[in-house]
Each structure stands twice: as C-alpha cells, then as structure tokens.
Amino acid sequence: MLDQHVDAASSSVPDPVRQVRPGNAHKSSVSAVGAQSTIGKTLLIKGEITGSGSVHIEGNVEGSIVLPDDRVTVGSNGRVSANIAAQDIVVLGEIVGSCNASDHLDIRRDGSLCGDVVVSRISVEEGAYLTGSIDIRREPAPAPKAEEQQVVESWQVN
C-alpha cells in the first residue's frame, strides 16, 4: 500500500504526478518505448539526458540525448542543439545535431533537422527541412540458431 505524508499546510488538491488516471495513460505505438517525460517550453536544459523512458521536448536542450531503447520527440516548440541516439526520433520542431535512430526517424511537415543521420528507417513529410548526410543501415541478418548450425555441419561431414 502507498504511504503518503501530507502536511497540514499543504493543499488538498492531489499531486498529478502521483495520481494515476486509467483513461489518461499514454499508449505508445512502439511496445519497447517506456514511460514518457516532458520538457516544457519554458525550460532550458544544458548537459546530457540519459536513462530509460521516452522524452517529449517542447523547450530547449543543448548537449546530448542518449535513450537507446526509447523515443525522443521534439515537439513543435522544441529546439534541440544536441546529438541524439534513440530507438525512435520524431521531429516536429528543430534539431541541430546528428541523429542515430536504431529503428525509425520521422520528420514531420514543420520539422527541421540539420545534421547527419544514421537510421534503419526514415520518413520525411512534404514541407519538412533536412540537411546533412543520411546513412540507412539494414539490420544484420539473425545468426543461425545452434541447432541449425549443427544440422548444417552434419550434412557437410557426410
């Protein structure tokens, strides 16, 4: 059971961060993408953002963003001067820096990206701005299972 301490001077309004509302839960289209944090449009962050969990940026970020198993969304008000490494990157605002998306990079109509890109898949809507090099990498073919490897070797011996 959750144990909460409430000061007498505090408001009776519940803390929205602690309160879970079943109907308002964020549902991601990518199952591997975790919980989402938001950087508001009045915030400026200088430094490195790392960890697990997706991030939605409406403010300004300068530095680097490394969330290899999650999604980075740069909202329409977002301005990012950083190198980004993530599973998915969605650009509705502005990015200046390189992007490495292990799965998908999506640059929407009003989005702008100035930097080199390494991706598995990319989509750029009409009206979006993109400058830099694009390196589309195919995922390596899965290695044969140990059982399959033994079968192949036994056929070669006979």
Q: Would 148 be classed as within a structural domain? A: no
Say what the pLDDT of residue 145 is.
59
Q: Would 112 be classed as within a structural domain? A: yes
pLDDT 10s digits, 45-100 = 999 999 999 999 999 999 999 999 999 999 999 999 999 999 999 999 999 999 99
Question: What is the spatial distance between Cα 124 and Cα 52, in angstroms, rounded to a whole number?
Answer: 26
Q: Which domain holds residue 114?
A: 30-137
**pTM score, whole prediction:** 0.68
Q: Would 5 be classed as within a structural domain? A: no
CA distances in angstroms from 17 to 5, 27, 50, 82, 110, listed in the order given:
15, 17, 21, 28, 31
Residue 83: strand pairing partners: 64
Say what the pLDDT of residue 25 is.
40
DSSP designation for 17:
T
Tokens describing residue 16 = 């929205």
Evaluate if residue 116 carries a pLDDT over 90. yes
Q: How many domains does the chain have?
A: 1
Q: Would 51 be classed as within a structural domain? A: yes
Q: Would 152 be classed as within a structural domain? A: no
> Scanning the structure block, which residue is given the tokens 């969990």?
53
Evaluate if residue 146 carries a pLDDT over 80. no
Residue 34: strand pairing partners: none
Q: Would 22 be classed as within a structural domain? A: no
pLDDT 10s digits, 6-60 = 333 333 333 433 333 344 343 333 434 447 899 999 999 999 999 999 999 999 9
Evaluate if residue 113 carries a pLDDT over 80. yes
Say what the pLDDT of residue 144 is.
58
Q: Would 153 be classed as within a structural domain? A: no
Q: Would 147 be classed as within a structural domain? A: no
